[in-house]
Amino acid sequence: MIQLTNFTKSYSSKSPFTVSDINMTCEKGSITGILGLNGAGKTTILKAITARHFATSGSVLVEGIEAGENAEQVRNLTGFVEEEPKLLGEYTVEEYLNMVASLHGLETQMHADKRRLKNNDINSSASICVNPRLIKDFSLTELLHKKIKTLSKGQRQRVNFAQALIYNPSVLVLDEPASGLDPAQIINMRSLVKSLKAEHTILLSTHLMQEVDSLCDKVYILHEGKIAASGRPDEIASQFKCKNLEEAFFKITSASDIVGEQK
């Protein structure tokens, strides 16, 4: 579970607040979406939830733990798929995933992993401390021994997804997860995210209405650093007397004086 209470963030004492008085709850077993124009504050919220930076005021709780006071613990609870992944280009995919697993306290169990890899028809010479199903789900078998700097954007995004799930975090935070993926990979990604829903708390930031319609149980729309609307997509459309969420979104983000109820 994720809970933000009066979350406010400014990057310096002289700058205005990037986001202000955000109240948001994301439940386990559901997928929550954040929509907003560029600069609305979506990534600011995601980075606070994953303890990459901290609230100026208010609180951020992840599984009941205050992110600002227990950053390392929260980072171990959250898998973060960033829109622009900061992967280490000189590492091979195998080396990088091993490193991420090690940083999160997983021990390499080479022989057991080899047996599982072989049973799943994946290259049994690999010695990664990863659930081999991840390698299969993200089509990484042929990439394991390639350096990350040689990969295409879509291939890097697949590695990005794998590193976020490698230590089986209870909370998954996705920032534009479809970025760089081709249509078939997007379909596979959506299917995987849905399959993770029951056992995880999932928060998704996206510009794609189709992504929201396909995945999200609840949506928060940000406008100028505040929550302008929240609820199920059909509830938001009804609230703003629109045919669908997309129409409501454009109505909300084109009106500078909207500050909707935060649910």
- For 217-256, the DSSP string reads SEEEEEETTEEEEEE-HHHHHHHTT-SSHHHHHHHHHT-T
Q: For the segment 108-154, what is each residue's pLDDT rounded down to a tens digit?
A: 444 344 445 555 554 444 455 556 778 888 889 899 999 999 998 88
**CA dist., res. 208 & res. 257, Å (int):** 24
CA dist 56 → 10, 14, 68, 221 (Å): 6, 13, 10, 21
Provide the pLDDT confidence category of residue 47 given band limits of 50, 70 and 90. very high
53/104: higher pLDDT: 53
**Among the listed residues 132, 235, 153, 46, the one whose alpha carbon sits nearest the alpha carbon of residue 19:** 46
Give the DSSP H or E segment for 159.
helix 153-165
Query: In sequence order, what are the beta bridge partners of 42?
Result: none
Domain range for 70 is 2-86+166-253
Q: Are residues 127 and 224 in the same domain?
A: no
Tell me, yes or no, whether 248 lies in a domain: yes
Q: What does pLDDT average to over the chain?
A: 85
State yes or no: pLDDT of 222 exceeds 90: yes
Q: How many CB atoms lie within 10 A of CB 131?
A: 18
Share of the chain above pLDDT 90, in %: 56
Same domain, 75 and 104: no
What is the phi-psi region of residue 133: left when phi exceeds 0, alpha when psi lies from -120 to 50, beta otherwise?
alpha
- Residue 263: what pLDDT? 41
Indicate the SS3 state at residue 3.
Answer: strand
In a domain, 260, yes or no: no
**The pLDDT value given to residue 127:** 52
Same domain membership, residue 140 and residue 188: no
53-88 pLDDT, tens digit per residue, is 999 999 999 999 999 999 999 999 999 998 887 899
Q: Are residues 194 and 69 in the same domain?
A: yes
Q: Is 160 part of a structural domain of the chain?
A: no
Asked if 1 and 63 count as a contact pair (C-beta separation under 8 A), the reply is: yes
pLDDT at 89: 87
Could you tell me which residues come within 8 angstroms of residue 7 by beta carbon, excluding any fewer than 6 positions away?
Answer: 19, 21, 22, 23, 24, 45, 48, 55, 57, 58, 59, 60
Number of domains in the chain: 2
Predicted pLDDT at 123: 47
Residues 116 and 229 in one domain: no
- Same domain? 217 vs 177: yes
> Does residue 152 sit within a domain?
no
Q: How much is the pLDDT for 15?
A: 62
What pLDDT, on a 0 to 100 scale, did the predictor assign at position 34?
95
Flag whether 184 is in a domain: yes
Residues 123 and 177 reside in one and the same domain: no
Distances (CA, A) of 243 to 206, 238, 246: 20, 8, 8
Domain shared by 119 and 228, yes or no: no
Phi then psi for residue 159, to 5 deg, are -65, -40
Residues 192 and 82 in one domain: yes
Q: Does residue 261 lie in a domain region? A: no
Q: How far apart are CA 78 and CA 240, in angstroms?
A: 34
Of 56-60, 77-81, 178-182, 224-228, the poorest mean pLDDT is in 178-182
* Gap between the Cα atoms of 263 and 260, Å rounded: 9
Per-residue confidence (pLDDT) for residue 79, from 0 to 100: 93
- Do 160 and 85 form a contact (C-beta atoms < 8 A)? yes
What CA–CA distances, in Å, run from 167 to 101, 199, 239?
6, 14, 40
Where residue 202 sits, what CATH number does that domain have? 3.40.50.300
Regarding predicted confidence, which is higher, 212 or 114? 212
Distance, in Å, from the CA atom of 75 to the CA atom of 209, rounded to the nearest integer, reads: 29
Residue 159 lies in a domain: no
What percent of the chain has pLDDT above 70?
A: 85
pLDDT at 173 over 90: yes
Residues 62 and 128 in one domain: no
Q: What is the pLDDT of residue 168?
A: 87
Residue 36 and residue 78 share a domain? yes
* Cα radius of gyration (the chain): 19
- Same domain assignment for residues 72 and 171: yes
Inside any domain, residue 107 = yes
